[in-house]
Amino acid sequence: MQNSMRVAGKEIQSHVNIFVFIFVLFIMGIIFGAVIVNSMNFVQKQDLFFYLKQFFEQNISMNGTSKATLWKDSILYHLKYMLLLFLLGISVIGMPIITVLLFIKGLVVGFSVGFLVNQMGWYGLLISSAAIAPQNLLIIPVYLIAGSLALIFSLTLCKQLFIRRVHQPILKGFVRYSAFFGALMLILIVASTIEVFFSNTILDYVVKWIYH
């Protein structure tokens, strides 16, 4: 166990530039998402806000979907996304797609928070804090780490295929790669639990307080 942790630590240190690249890419996505909000015209913002307001009002008036169903849907979503990153990591051609997926993740977060704050001011910030922030404190780091690991493994495969002098034990690396993704998925299950049983409950109270 200690040897595995030591190897993992060395692996992270030797690829710190990839982790930095992924982090910067995600931040750029957030900024780009906020820029898109500011570039929308008044009619577009009003149309989108109308649908958002309808969603909030329906959320108040209806009993809502079962918490267990929402929890399963959330876990299934994360499982599909992580499986996609995992498969892209073991394919040589997956590197550009990984970067695009993580950029889009940042863009969605930036657009969501930016739009709510732009349209609702402090109320929008309050809704973002209740609905987006709690689970994303876990989700965002997990996806950034998963994307970085997928890029690192894909680069390792490329070196094996195209640089004959590089010979690394791929099987051991694959087992370690799979174990990391398994551990990250467990963290996402915790994040899904927070999202469904904590964030959604707080969001219900906040929306009722705003619209009543």
Query: Which one, of 116, 115, 135, 105, lies nearest residue 200 by Cα?
Result: 135
Q: Determine the Cα–Cα distance for residues 114 and 97; give it in Å rounded to an integer.
A: 25
pLDDT of residue 103: 95
pLDDT at 185: 96
- Decide: 160 and 170 in contact? Cβ < 8 Å: yes
Query: Can you give the pLDDT at residue 1?
Result: 46
Sequence letter at residue 171: L
- The residue whose two tokens read 């295929």 is 161
CA angle 17, 18, 24 (to 5 degrees): 90
Q: Report which of 30, 51, 73 is spatially closest to residue 193, judged by C-alpha positions.
A: 73
**Structure tokens, 75:** 């876990």
- Contact at 8 Å (CB) between 105 and 144? no
pLDDT by position in tens, the chain (length 212): 455 455 555 666 667 899 999 999 999 999 999 899 888 887 878 888 777 777 666 665 555 557 788 899 999 999 999 999 999 999 878 889 999 999 999 999 999 888 888 888 888 888 888 888 889 999 999 999 999 999 999 988 887 776 655 556 677 888 989 999 999 999 999 999 998 888 878 887 887 777 66
pTM for the whole thing? 0.85
